[in-house]
Amino acid sequence: MSLTALEIRHMETLLALAECGSLSKAASRLFLTQSALSHQLKALEIHFGASLIEKNVRPLRFTAIGQRLLTLARTVLPQMAEAGRDVARLAQGHAGPLRIAVQCHNCFDWLMPAMDAYRTLWPEVELDIISGFLMNPLPLLDQGEAELAIIHDRQEPPPSIVFSPLFRYESVALMSPRHRLAAKPWLEAADFGAETLITYPVPDEMLDVMKHCLTPAKINPKRRTAELTVAILQLVASGRGIAALPSWTVGNYLERGYVVSRPIGQHGLRCELYAATTRAGAEAAYIREFIALTRIQSLTEFAGVSAL
């Protein structure tokens, strides 16, 4: 009933619960099963002799006791994280540079805010983006020219490399509200055939729609390219063609009604992002924390982004 019995794991659970609003969501964020959290909560409730959350309401609500423990978690966990950083700084003679190889334009949208947040935690780390937009950035890691690479979709990592899951997002088709395809509840590959597809100026393999949907269906629509996301959206809004972008990059435009979004395929087109490091990099605290931070931050900031 006293100090022990409430473990760090429990505080992390409470924090995730507060942000996700359901056991199952919180579980996947913590890389655990829903069952684990259910058991955890049950144990706590037995221990304290009172319930911590009301689960019959969505999103779930914290009881007074649950809130007290939640505020504890909110004060304690950051203190521990800070101590962990200090120790890492002391243990491994001051951290090196962190050069990030990115494959896709979209990445900047979530990478930038994450880098900003990270910089306050590890001011001495030299952050750098390597944006050659290479097809395969993994060799850069082995060659020591980058510490981190952002990888699309699950694949078998080479022995020298470690993958860490970041998150899953959905790519949606975007079109003018007056576009004829806007009438359909969802688009299939064939719908793209007669359209002009507006994309970033990169190879097809680096475009989610092409790689996962159109190329397999042997459909190759007309193209028009733009460097910037806003430019693509402008073209879409003025009816010059359709585009396919991650759902969370276009929140504002959707809300204002300039464009509408439709799932690609009946169940949507889901893409996965992984962070790749060398085995050594996966040990280094300052790199591990960058991965953890981008993951959490993206999961909380962006709607339509989910844990994997």
Partner DNA sequence: TTAATGACATGAGCCTAATTCATCACAGGT
Partner DNA sequence: ACCTGTGATGAATTAGGCTCATGTCATTAA
Q: Which residues bind a second copy (CB under 8 A)?
A: 1-4, 6-9, 12, 48-50, 64-65, 68-69, 71-72, 75-77, 79-81, 83-84, 86-88, 90-92, 283-285, 288-289, 292
Stretch that binds DNA, among 27-35, 69-77, 140-148, 197-205 (CB under 7 A): 27-35
Which amino acid, residue 295? Answer: R
CA atoms of 158 and 92, how far apart (whole Å): 26
Task: Answer yes or no whether residue 15 interacts with DNA by CB under 7 A.
Answer: no
> Strand 260-263 and strand 242-246: pairing?
unpaired
Give the burial class of 221: count Cβ atoms within 10 A of its Cβ; 0-12 exposed, 13-18 middle, 19 or more buried.
buried
Is the sign of the CA dihedral 4, 8, 13, 18 positive or negative?
Answer: positive
Which amino acid, residue 60? Answer: L
Nearer to a second copy, 71 or 225 (CB): 71
Task: Find out whether 173 and 187 touch, Cβ atoms under 8 Å.
Answer: yes
Stretch that binds DNA, among 21-29, 65-73, 197-205, 274-282 (CB under 7 A): 21-29
Per CB under 7 A, the list member of 8, 43, 50, 231 interacting with DNA is 43
- For residue 13, the minimal CB distance to a second copy (Å) is 12
Task: Answer yes or no whether residue 223 interacts with DNA by CB under 7 A.
Answer: no
CA atoms of 44 and 39, how far apart (whole Å): 9
Residue 165 has phi, psi (to 5 degrees) of -65, 135
Q: Kindly list the distances between the CA atom of residue 57 and the CA atoms of 28, 65, 195, 211, in Å, as whole numbers in the listed order.
A: 20, 17, 45, 41
Q: E strands, the chain, where? A: 53-54, 61-62, 98-101, 127-130, 148-152, 161-175, 196-199, 222-225, 242-246, 260-263, 269-278
Nearer to a second copy, 114 or 250 (CB): 114
Applying the rule CB under 7 A, the residues between 91 and 120 that interact with DNA are none
CA atoms of 283 and 267, how far apart (whole Å): 37
> Strand 196-199 and strand 222-225: pairing?
parallel
Task: Answer yes or no whether residue 9 interacts with DNA by CB under 7 A.
Answer: yes
- For residue 232, the minimal CB distance to a second copy (Å) is 37
Stretch that binds DNA, among 28-36, 110-118, 192-200, 279-287 (CB under 7 A): 28-36
- For residue 52, the minimal CB distance to a second copy (Å) is 9
23 binds, among a second copy, DNA, none (CB under 5 to 8 A by kind): DNA
CA nearest 296: which of 166, 163, 173, 191?
166
Task: Answer yes or no whether residue 187 interacts with DNA by CB under 7 A.
Answer: no
Per CB under 7 A, the list member of 16, 18, 25, 296 interacting with DNA is 25
Task: Answer yes or no whether residue 23 interacts with DNA by CB under 7 A.
Answer: yes
Per CB under 7 A, the list member of 1, 49, 58, 79 interacting with DNA is 58
Nearer to a second copy, 79 or 252 (CB): 79
87 binds, among a second copy, DNA, none (CB under 5 to 8 A by kind): a second copy
Q: Which residues bind DNA (CB under 7 A)?
A: 7, 9, 22-25, 27, 31-36, 38-43, 55-56, 58, 60
